[in-house]
A and B are shown apart, each in its own frame.
Chain A
């Protein structure tokens, strides 16, 4: 393909096709209106050019009908843009439930991606064809923006917060990955590639390389290493809440409020434990701010999520979780 002749950016997802239909509508409206204005101005400028300096044009007073027409018609056409745009945007904002999760950490100036199976990449992301991929993203420093133009996906990646984006690749190939939010000196070097592979090829890729342990089992090691298990016991009541099957549930806090146990809450509880204390427990946990990286946090989180699963794919978790097996899946699938 000759890139200089390209008029539409590569399309590699259904969302991209939906967006490009909307784009076509926008272009048609723009073409009609600009042609109308330009044609009228050219026509008037020639037809009514001043032929003698004594010309005194007749008065034309405003016309209410015209004013109403050129207020209402553009408004209606723009409301179509609005509704259509909202539709596409909601499609972009809502990952399907069965999407496979991939973690993204942005830092000056590289993208680090982690697969649940344990593969870690820098400035690259390999995904299988035809399976929706949900990205859970955060930044170690400044704001970045994860931009995959072939899927028309862009979302800011912020420090101190998890954001999500998703796409469903429909065409195998190699696609641009850009940082779209200015992030400092080597902003334009914070780029990479997305590889969309045939599922079988993807499985081979996953199996090869220095993948090794799953994210959850790395998380488990960290959990032991940081001595979290001393208080967060799963075998008997500990000084801190049992984390078995806790992900996705509602917890009651000492303040009487409830909070949903999601990535944001887990993150906050590790870095700033005294912010929201679960009812019935003391404020005794130290902050791990500065001791764990964003990637460590994601691994810990994946471990905690795995605690609720009936069979832990990565192993490890299941062994230490004999109790509550029956209840956990039900709570998880709530």
Chain B
């Protein structure tokens, strides 16, 4: 059991007990916690791989693990972190928990489908774990052909099927959110009164539903070519290897936004509540989420500037990639403007939000570097790219995820996290992150190629810095793992609305009752209208 509260009031954690009540639950809040457990496991597993990778790279020769093992380590690190942690991270945990609560609904539109999504995810994860245990996979998370279909002698099919299966969970979750957001908003909750987190989840869901089938088909084609020698990608069988890259990135670029849009939504919530201000330019922030979702489907070719794709195609993709940077910049400027003349408190989630804005800014700016045709030729497939996407995925998404987890922890568990430890770990993570990944920009620009098991000695100084940073980062991630679990039993009992937030999820008890609200709320104010708190006190 998660908690043993002393409260007398029944809540979603206490109204039923036993393993069966969890494994067969249709309560979106319990399913969120099931996901939380599963993805936390995958995060630490992926983290262990990252640790070994960083240790190997401490010295130029490949001395800690063999080349083959190293290749499996970075492949599994990428596959697990992308498909089994980042893609489900915020949507499946915070999204599952919050989408119905934020819109005043009792549950998602399809509760059984939601539970099924979790089981599908677990089956997909089990395939990947099985492949890992029997020998692993060494194709990188990108599965480039014809290496993956005709040359790799590792468990490509098993892993590919795992991702294929897990994809359905992503599709179903997206579908569930779209229907829920359309059909189940509380009376008075118009589209422009929705919290920005809902807008970002909506945009994310669109990408999940439209994009994921493409990666599923692509991986299926890899499996068919590898298993049955169907000539699709391998030129020796009459196929085209560049076709694979088009298909792969057609999903995998939008997937970047599946990973980061929810984070942007979390940051909008946090920035507003801890500065007690409406988000500046609400509509611009909301529409920029939709703009990102649409444009994200039009930029995949920027992964392929040196792939032999037509130079004119590259030119178009470069242009469109700059376009997608505009809505991202709009968000950053609006968050910053929200702080103007506000009342800022330094609670842990706000520290994470500051971290997010800073790191996402660097990740976004280096993204424009990579969209620049000539520059990309030089740094593509080097550590510059590695640093860039870790600034977005880890500096962005992971910061937002941790910020959101702390922010809604009182609501989810009914317990407060220890503020001092939490602030400390946020600081440690921020410093550790920068020490790990900033040197990678420099060494990438100085031409250290990625996915290298051994490397020329001149890059060692940057690798040493990066490995040192990684150890700090690892400690930073372990601290919350300890105190969050500790807080389940020993944390202070959480009030219903500890942060004085205005969202609907804070107007019910902590933890919420099984059906979220005793009475369906009626909304007659805009999002982030903190004056209603005064009215409620008076009332």
Tell me the complex Cα distance, A43–B367, Å.
Answer: 26
Residues on the B chain within 8 Å of A34, using CB? 361-362, 365
Q: Is A243 an interface residue (CB 8 A)?
A: no
- Residue with the highest number of chain B CB atoms closer than 10 Å, among A74, A79, A84, A161: A74
Partner of B318, one of A22, A38, A85, A142: A85
| A279, CB-defined interface residue at 8 Å | no
A146-205: which residues lie under 8 A (CB-CB) from chain B?
147, 149, 152-156, 158-161, 163, 176, 178-189, 191
**CB <8 Å contact, A176 and B447:** yes
Question: Which of B236, B242, B283, B377 touches A89 (beta carbons < 8 Å)?
Answer: B377
CB pair A4–B461 under 8 Å, yes or no, is: yes
Residues of A within 8 A of B217 (CB): none
- Does B374 make an interface contact (CB < 8 A)? yes
Q: Is A143 an interface residue (CB 8 A)?
A: yes
B381 touches A81 (CB 8 A): no
In this assembly, does B421 line the interface, its C-beta being within 8 Å of a C-beta of chain A?
no
Bound CA span A189–B456, Å: 10
Complex interface: chain A residues within 8 A of B307 (CB)? 156
- Interface contact B318-A143, CB-CB below 8 Å: no
Stretch at the interface among B32-40, B261-269, B342-350, B430-438: B342-350
Query: Chain A residues near B308 (CB, 8 Å)?
Result: 155-156, 158, 161, 163
CB-nearest residue of chain B relative to A64?
A: B281
- Inter-chain contact B375/A180, CB cutoff 8 Å: no
Closest Cβ of chain A to B342, distance in Å, is 5
B358 CB → nearest A CB, Å: 6
In the complex, which residues of chain B have a beta carbon less than 8 angstroms from the beta carbon of A56? Answer: 276, 343, 530, 534
In the complex, A33 has a CB within 8 A of chain B:
yes
- Bitwise, A88-102 to B at CB < 8 A (1) or not (0) is 111111000000000
Count of A residues near B, CB < 8 Å? 84
A-chain residues with CB within 8 Å of residue B311 when the two chains form the complex: 89-90, 93
Q: Is the CB of A159 within 8 A of B241?
A: yes
A235 to chain B, nearest CB (A): 36
Asked if A110 lies at the interface with its beta carbon under 8 angstroms from chain B, I say no
Q: Which residues of A contact B458 (CB under 8 A)?
A: 3-4, 6
Contact A62 B318 (CB under 8 A): no
* Listed residue (A3, A9, A30, A41) with the most chain B CB atoms within 10 angstroms of its CB: A41
Partner of A145, one of B242, B306, B358: B306
Judged by a CB distance under 8 angstroms, whether A319 is at the interface is no
Stretch at the interface among B96-104, B146-154, B167-175, B485-493: B146-154
Say yes or no: A50-B361 contact (C-beta < 8 A), given A4-B461, A59-B278: no
B374 touches A178 (CB 8 A): no
Mask, B312-334, CB within 8 Å of A = 1, is 00110011001001100110111
Q: Which of A203-240 contact B (CB under 8 A)?
A: none
Question: Given A70-B333, A89-B377, are A48 and B358 neighbors across the interface (CB < 8 Å)?
Answer: no
Task: For the complex formed, measure the closest distance between the CB of A24 and the CB atoms of chain B, giving whole angstroms.
Answer: 11
Minimum distance in angstroms from A138 CB to a CB of chain B: 10
Chain B residues with CB under 8 Å of A49's CB are 343-346
B445 partner, pick from A9, A55, A142, beta carbons under 8 A: A9
Task: Check B354 against A41 for contact (C-beta < 8 Å).
Answer: yes
A22 touching B381 in the complex, CB below 8 Å, given contacts A37-B332, A37-B336: no
Q: Is the beta-carbon distance between B336 and A41 smaller than 8 angstroms?
A: yes
Interface pair B375/A22, CB less than 8 Å apart: yes
Which residue in chain B gives the minimum CB-CB distance to A79? B322
Q: Of residues B283, B325, B337, which shows the largest number of chain A Cβ atoms within 10 Å of its Cβ?
A: B337
B residues within 8 A CB of A186?
Answer: 67
A155 to B307, CA, bound (A): 7
Q: How far is the CB of A57 from chain B (nearest CB, A)?
A: 5
Count the B residues whose beta carbon is within 8 Å of the partner chain — how many? 92
A86 within 8 A of B: yes
Instruction: Tell which of A37, A89, A156 touches B314, judged by Cβ atoms closer than 8 Å.
Output: A89
Q: Does B380 contact A (CB under 8 A)?
A: yes
Given A50-B343, A75-B326, A93-B311, also A26-B337 (CB < 8 A): no
Name the residue in A37, A49, A61 with the highest tally of chain B Cβ atoms < 10 Å from its Cβ. Answer: A37
Q: Which residues of chain A are within 8 angstroms of B329 by Cβ–Cβ distance?
A: 70-71, 74
Interface residue ranges of B359-379 to A (CB < 8 Å): 361-362, 365-366, 368-369, 371-378
Is B340 an interface residue when CB atoms closer than 8 A count as contact?
yes
Known: A143-B147, A187-B453. A180 touches B380 (CB 8 A): yes
Report the Cα distance A18→B375, complex, angstroms.
Answer: 10
- Which of A87, A154, A185 is the one whose CB lies under 8 Å from B377? A154
A53-72: CB near B (< 8 Å → 1, else 0) gives 00111111111001100110
User: Using Cβ atoms and an 8 Å threshold, which residues of chain A touch B447?
Assistant: 9, 147, 149, 176, 178
- Inter-chain CA distance A37–B365, complex, in Å, is 12
Q: Determine if A45 and B371 form an interchain contact, defined as CB atoms under 8 angstroms apart.
A: no
Q: Do the beta carbons of A57 and B276 come within 8 Å of each other?
A: yes
Whether B280 pairs with A60 at a CB distance below 8 angstroms is: yes
Q: Does B246 contact A (CB under 8 A)?
A: no
> Does B305 count as interface, using CB distance less than 8 angstroms?
yes
**Is there contact, CB below 8 Å, between B326 and A183?**
no
List of B residues within 8 angstroms of A328 by Cβ? none
Looking at the complex, which one of B322, B345, B358 makes contact with A38 (CB distance below 8 Å)?
B358
A320–B371 Cα distance when bound, in Å, is 52
CB distance from B246 to the nearest CB of A (A): 14
Q: Which of A33, A86, A142 contacts B365 (CB 8 A)?
A: A33
Q: Write the chain B residue with the least CB distance to A109.
A: B67
Residues of A participating in the B interface, judged by any CB pair closer than 8 Å: 3-4, 6-7, 9, 18-19, 22-23, 26, 29-30, 33-34, 37-38, 40-41, 44-45, 48-51, 55-63, 66-67, 70-71, 74-75, 78-79, 81-82, 84-93, 108, 141-143, 145, 147, 149, 152-156, 158-161, 163, 176, 178-189, 191
Q: Give 14 A-B pairs besides A60-B280, A71-B326 with Cβ atoms closer than 8 angstroms.
A: A55-B276, A57-B275, A60-B278, A67-B284, A81-B322, A84-B372, A85-B375, A89-B377, A93-B311, A158-B241, A158-B242, A182-B71, A185-B67, A189-B67
16 interchain pairs (CB within 8 A)? A29-B368, A30-B365, A34-B362, A34-B365, A50-B345, A55-B276, A60-B280, A61-B278, A62-B280, A85-B374, A89-B373, A142-B144, A155-B377, A187-B67, A187-B71, A187-B451
